[in-house]
């Protein structure tokens, strides 16, 4: 079992995250992000109740170019009377910022599902899809997703890889002593599909450690890797607005401006 820090009794982090979500500020996802340490490594975890949070995927600005940066997305939402309360990069992308693999935004598919193995982390099967639809969320292995949504896609979906946790088991290719250590971000969903956990490591970690965070600390039976070196977080309540190279898909939590009728 992974080593736990003495100052972090089991369940404390989950209880704290739940308390944040059940406060008087619902449904606004304010203060949904919190730092934690797991197995000696620092992370930030952002937890959301799907039914009470407007979670969306974003890729293309109304002018037809990729958003690329959190600031540009926040400015566009502000012009619509909304606030970006949280954001994170949401999957791998090509040089022109198009999504690698399936991408569905507001019910419209912009890129197809990729079923075959391939180079890089994306092609390390099994990979999977993070999706949002009708007050539910899921992380689903690619071929299972294809069957489940054969006739009607969810409202939002982004494919990435590899899967971190599959039905409660870590990806079979992960090694506890794996030498590849990078800053990483990913997403896991509770067993009932009502709670989503986004996590980003603050220091380089290997896949095994990162996947164990989702399985053993956040207790998500399925979790998906989103990306590595380019991992970024937008969390205004933690004074986090990470820039750098332009991104492809972005996942964000949106709240209406109280001044908007």
For the chain, the domain total comes to: 1
Three-state DSSP state, 159: strand
The share of the chain scoring above pLDDT 90, in percent, equals: 82
Torsions phi, psi of 47, nearest 5? -115, 140
CA dist 120 → 117, 211, 228, 229, 259 (Å): 9, 17, 11, 13, 46
In a domain, 218, yes or no: yes
- What whole-number distance in Å separates Cα of residue 235 and Cα of residue 232? 10
In a domain, 180, yes or no: yes
Domain ranges, residue 56: 32-256
Torsions phi, psi of 144, nearest 5? -65, -40
Name the average pLDDT for the chain.
Answer: 89
pLDDT at 58 over 90: yes
Count the neighbouring beta carbons within 10 Å of the beta carbon of residue 126: 16
Sign of CA dihedral 32, 158, 73, 88: positive
In a domain, 19, yes or no: no
Q: What is the pLDDT of residue 29?
A: 40
In a domain, 18, yes or no: no
In a domain, 16, yes or no: no
Query: pLDDT digits over 212-252, tens only?
Result: 999 999 999 999 999 998 899 999 999 999 999 999 999 99
In a domain, 3, yes or no: no
Q: What is the pLDDT of residue 260?
A: 55
Count the neighbouring beta carbons within 10 Å of the beta carbon of residue 41: 17
CB 214 within 8 A of CB 73: no
In a domain, 220, yes or no: yes
Query: pLDDT digits over 158-206, tens only?
Result: 999 999 999 999 999 999 999 999 999 999 999 999 999 999 999 999 9
Cβ neighbours of residue 80 closer than 8 Å, sequence gap 6 or more: none
In a domain, 166, yes or no: yes
């Amino acid at each position: 079992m992974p080593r736990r820090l003495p100052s972090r009794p089991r369940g404390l982090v989950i209880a704290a995250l739940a308390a944040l979500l059940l406060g008087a500020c619902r449904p606004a996802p304010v203060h949904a992000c919190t730092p934690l340490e797991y197995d000696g490594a620092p992370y930030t975890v952002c937890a959301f109740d799907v039914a009470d949070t407007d979670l969306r995927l974003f890729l293309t600005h109304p002018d037809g170019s990729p958003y690329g940066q959190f600031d540009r997305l926040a400015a566009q939402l502000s012009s619509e009377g909304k606030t970006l309360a949280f954001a994170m990069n949401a999957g791998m992308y090509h040089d022109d910022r198009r999504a690698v693999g399936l991408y569905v935004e507001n019910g419209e598919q912009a890129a197809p599902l990729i079923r075959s193995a391939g180079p890089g982390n994306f092609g390390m099967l099994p990979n999977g899809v993070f999706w949002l639809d009708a007050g539910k969320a899921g992380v689903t292995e690619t071929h299972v997703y294809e069957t489940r949504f054969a006739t009607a896609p969810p409202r939002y979906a982004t494919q990435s890889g590899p899967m971190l946790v599959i039905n409660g088991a870590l990806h079979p290719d992960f090694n506890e002593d794996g030498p590849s250590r990078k800053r990483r971000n990913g997403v896991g969903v509770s067993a009932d599909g009502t709670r989503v956990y986004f996590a980003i490591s603050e220091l380089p970690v290997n896949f095994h450690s990162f996947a164990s965070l989702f399985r053993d600390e956040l207790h998500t039976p399925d979790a998906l890797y989103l990306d590595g070196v380019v991992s970024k977080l937008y969390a205004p309540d933690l004074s986090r607005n990470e820039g750098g190279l332009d991104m492809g898909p972005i996942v964000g939590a949106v709240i209406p401006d109280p001044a908007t009728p």
